[in-house]
A and B are shown apart, each in its own frame.
Chain A
Amino acid sequence: MTTTLAKPEPPRSRPPRRQRTPRPVTSLGDRVFRMLTLGASLLILLALAGVFVFLFVKGAPGFTQAADVYGRASSFTGYVLPLLGGTVIAALIALLIAVPLAWGIALVISHYAPRFVAVPAAYLVDLLAAVPSVVFGLWGVVVLAPKMVPVFDFLNTYFGWIPIFSGDVSNSGRTIVTAGVVLAIMILPIITAITREVFSRTPRLNQEAALALGATRWEMMRLTVFPYGRSGMVSASMLGLGRALGETMAVAMVLSLGAWSDFKLLEPGNSSIAANIASKYKERSEELTSVLIATGLVLFLLTFVVNATARWIVGRSERRMASA
C-alpha cells in the first residue's frame, strides 16, 4: 500500500534505505478514487456471484418439486434432459453451418479480397451482429421456415433411412433445424470477427517464405495461416457455441411449442432451455417458476463452462505467443 510509506518504518537491523524515487503523492482524493475503482471491480465479482446465488436460491426448490409440476416428465432430470438435448442439438447444427462459413469469410476479409472490398465486407458482417435477435426470429418464422420445407422433404425422401431425418416432416418448417440455421446466422459475426483477427496476425514473413518456396495461395494458407491461428479458430467456435446455447428469442419464435421427440430433427416440437423459459414464464405458478429458474441455472453453468474453456484456450495461446 502506498499510504504506509508516510509512516516511519519499523526498526530493522540494516539502516533505513533512503528514498531515491519520488514519493507517490497520496492525498485523500487518491485513496477515495482508488477505493471507488476497486469497489467497481468487486461489484462485478459480486454481480457474477449474485447471479449464481440468486438463481440457486430461487431455483433450488425447482429440483425437487412434486411430480405433476414437471408435466409429462416426472422428475427434474426427466424435465431438463430433453430441453438440454434440444439446446445442444440446435447449437451444434448452428456451429456446423456457421464455422466453415465464418472461416471462409474471415479468409476473404484477411487475405483474399483487395482492401477496397475487404473493408465494406467486414462492415457487412458486423451489420449482421447489429440485427436484434427478435428480428432474426421474426425473419426465421415468416421467411426462412416456409423455404426450408422443400429442403426437409428432400432430406426426408432421400436420407430418411438415417434415423434423425425420418418421421413426418413438419409442414410449417418450424423445426429445430430451422432454429439451428437462424442461430448459425446469428453467431456468424462473432466467429468471423475473432477468426479474422487471428488470421490477419499471421507473421508476414512466414507467409512470404511459403510463397517463395513455390506454394500456391491455398498451400500457403494451410502451411502458415491455419497452424498459426488454430487455437484462435477453436476458441472462436467455442464462443460461438456459447452464444448459440444461450440464445433465446430466435429459437422460441421459430419452434412451435412442444417437448423433445426422439431425436427426429425434421419433426415439429422440440425446444431449448432458453426458449422454454421464455414461452412458459407467463404461467407464473410459484412451482413452475422455480423449475424454470433451475433449468436456467443448468444453462448458466453449461455456458459458463463453454466460455471459460474458450477463454482459457485463447489465454494459453496468447501466453505461448508472447513467450515465443
Chain B
Amino acid sequence: MSVDVAKPGTRGTVSLTAPRLPREAPLLVGVGAVAVAALVWLLLGWPLVGSAVVGGLVFLVALPAWSRVVEGRRSATDRLMTALIWTTFVVAMVPLVSLVATVVTKGAPVVNREFLTYSLFSTGAEQPPGIYHAIMGTLIITVGAAIISVPVGVLAAIYLVEYGKRNQLARMVTFLVDVMTGIPSIVAGLFAFALFTVLFGPGFQAGIGGSVALSLLMIPIVVRATEEMLRLVPDDLREASYALGTPKWRTIVKVVLPTTIGGIITGVTLAVARVIGETAPLLLIAGLAARTNTDPFSGAMTTLPVQIYSFNSRQETLDLAWGAALVLIVIVLALNLVARVIGKIFAPKTGN
C-alpha cells in the first residue's frame, strides 16, 4: 500500500490520500504495551494478572491516541473499537483456559485404573475410592433418557415437517419446543420428582426418574436438530418416490430418513452431550448412593455430576471431585467429537 503513495514532502507532490499510520502500528504499540506490562511485573512486583491488565490498557489508550493525532477522530474510534472487540475475545478465553488447565492439572493425578473401576462402597479397609458406580449410573440414566426422547423427538419433527405444514398445531408445537429449550433443569427435576411421588408415593428415588427429567430437556434439542435436517431434504426426492407409487410413510422411512440419518445422529449425540452433564434434576430424583446400582427402576442411582457435587461438599474429597470432573469433561468432549465426525461423514449432498 504505502509503496506507491507519495508521502507529503517527498519531491514536492501532494498526497491524495489521508495520512495513515504505518501498517506495523498495532504491532509496535503492542510490543510497547507488553514491555510496559513486563516492567510493571518485574520492577514493581505487581501480580501477573494485574500487569497484563495494565499492558492491555496501555494498548487501548496508546493506539487510538496515536491514530487521533495522525489520522483523525473517526479512524481513532475505529481503532479503539477494533482493539476493544479483540479484547472481548481474549477476556473470554481466560476462564476457558483457566478452567481446562485446572481440571487437567488437578484431575489427572487422581484418575487411574482403581479410580475408574472401584465404587465408593468399600468392601475392604484398603480399597481406594472410585467412581465406577457414578459412571455406570450416568450411562444408564442417559441411555434411558435417549430411549425416551429420540423416538418422541424424531417422530414429532417428522410431523412438523412432513404432515403439519404450517397448521395451527404444528406452529404451536414449534413454539412450545422453542420455549422448552429454556426450561430450567431444576424445574425438569421437580417435575419428575412430583410425577413419581404422585405415582409411587413420597421418597421415591430411581434412575428412571432421572431419565424422564433428562428427556424433558433432551426432546426439544432432538426435535430442533431433526426438523432442520428434514427441511434440507430436497422435495424432488420425495416426489420421485411418490411417482413410483410409494406411500407417504414408506417414502419418509425409506427415502427421507436415510438421507438425513447422519444429521439426526449428530443432533442426538449433541443432545446427549448436553444432558449428560446435568446435575440438578438428578440430585432431586436419582439421588446418591455409594454402591453400584444397575437397576434403573429401584433405588438411588449416582451419576457423575451428582458425585462431583457430593465430593465438592467435603474438603477431604475435593481432589476426587477434580478427577471426576476430568472424566466427565472427557466424556462430553468425546461425544461432541463423535457428533462432528458423524456429521462430516454423513453430510447430506445438497450440491445439485
A interface residues (Cβ-Cβ under 8 A, vs B): 22, 24-27, 29-30, 32-34, 36-41, 43-45, 47-48, 50-51, 54-55, 57-59, 100-105, 107-108, 112, 121, 124-125, 127-128, 130-139, 141-144, 147, 185, 188, 216-219, 221, 239, 242-243, 245-249, 252-253, 274, 277-278, 281, 284, 286, 292-293, 296, 299-300, 303-304, 306-308, 310-311, 315
- Chain B 182-208, CB-CB to A under 8 Å as 1, else 0, gives 111111101101110110001100000
Residues of B146-167 whose CB lies within 8 A of A: 151-156, 158-160, 162-164
What are the residues of chain A within 8 A of B184 when measuring CB–CB? 245-248, 274, 299-300, 303
Find out whether the CB atom of B185 lies under 8 angstroms from the CB atom of A248. yes
What separation, in Å, do the CA atoms of A121 and B193 have in the docked complex? 40
Contact with A along B216-233 (1 / 0, CB 8 A): 100100010000000000
Query: B residues touching A (Cβ–Cβ < 8 Å)?
Result: 49, 74-75, 77-78, 81-82, 84-89, 91-93, 95-96, 98-99, 102-103, 151-156, 158-160, 162-164, 169-170, 172-173, 175-188, 190-191, 193-195, 197-198, 202-203, 216, 219, 223, 242, 245-250, 252-253, 273, 276-280, 283-284, 305, 308-309, 312, 318, 321-322, 325, 328-329, 332-333, 336
Separation of A242 and B160 alpha carbons in the complex (Å): 25
List chain A residues, Cβ under 8 A from B93: 124
Known: A105-B89, A133-B279, A286-B202. A33 touches B249 (CB 8 A): yes
Instruction: Find out whether the CB atom of B194 lies under 8 angstroms from the CB atom of A138.
Output: no
Some 18 contacts from A to B, beta carbons below 8 A apart, are A24-B248, A27-B247, A37-B156, A40-B154, A40-B156, A41-B169, A44-B173, A44-B180, A54-B194, A127-B333, A133-B305, A134-B305, A138-B308, A216-B74, A248-B186, A284-B203, A292-B190, A299-B184
Q: Are A296 and B179 in contact (CB under 8 A)?
A: no
Contact residue among A104, A135, A310 (Cβ-Cβ distance under 8 Å from B99): A135
Query: Could you tell me the distance in whole angstroms from the C-beta of B287 to the nearest C-beta in chain A?
Result: 10
Contact between B151 and A40 (Cβ–Cβ < 8 Å)? yes
Is the pair B325, A135 in contact by a Cβ cutoff of 8 Å?
Answer: yes
Q: Contact at A299–B102, with CB atoms within 8 Å?
A: no
Known: A30-B247, A216-B74, A217-B78. A135 touches B158 (CB 8 A): no
Choice from B185, B193, B329 contacting A131 with Cβ under 8 Å? B329
Docked complex Cα distance between A131 and B276 (Å): 10
Which 4 pairs, one residue from A and one from B, show the smallest C-beta to C-beta distance? A246-B184, A132-B277, A104-B88, A40-B155
Query: What separation, in Å, do the CA atoms of A167 and B93 have in the docked complex?
Result: 32
Known: A30-B249, A54-B191. A307 touches B178 (CB 8 A): yes
* Cα separation A101 to B309 with both chains bound (whole Å): 29
Inter-chain contact B198/A54, CB cutoff 8 Å:
yes
Q: Hey, which chain B residues are within 8 Å of A185, CB to CB?
A: 92, 95-96
Interchain CA distance A147-B246 in the complex, whole Å = 66
Alpha-carbon gap, A25 to B247, bound state (A): 6
Q: Which residue of A lies closest to B273 (CB)?
A: A130
Q: Which of A29, A54, A218 contacts B81 (CB 8 A)?
A: A218
State whether A41 touches B195 (Cβ < 8 A).
no
Residues of A contacting B305 with CB < 8 Å?
132-134, 249
Which of B49, B78, B89, B195 interacts with A50 by CB under 8 Å? B195
A58 / chain B contacts, CB cutoff of 8 Å: 193-194, 197-198
Contact B194 A44 (CB under 8 A): no
In the complex, which residue of chain B has the Cβ closest to the Cβ of A128?
B96
Known A144-B95, A303-B183; further 18 A-B contacts with Cβ < 8 A: A25-B248, A37-B159, A38-B164, A40-B159, A44-B152, A45-B172, A47-B219, A51-B187, A108-B89, A130-B329, A133-B305, A134-B328, A136-B99, A138-B322, A139-B95, A139-B102, A246-B187, A248-B186
A218 with B77, Cβ < 8 A, contacts A27-B247, A112-B86, A142-B318 known: yes
* A139/B98 in contact, CB under 8 A: yes
A133 to B160, CA, bound (A): 32
Q: Which residue of B lies closest to A295 (CB)?
A: B190
Q: Is the CB of A34 within 8 A of B325?
A: no
Contact B279 A37 (CB under 8 A): no
Flag if B195 contacts A130 (CB, 8 Å): no
A253 touches B191 (CB 8 A): no
Would you call B216 and A47 a contact (CB within 8 A)? yes
A44 CA to B173 CA in the complex, in Å?
Answer: 7
Contact present for B216 and A51 (CB under 8 Å):
yes
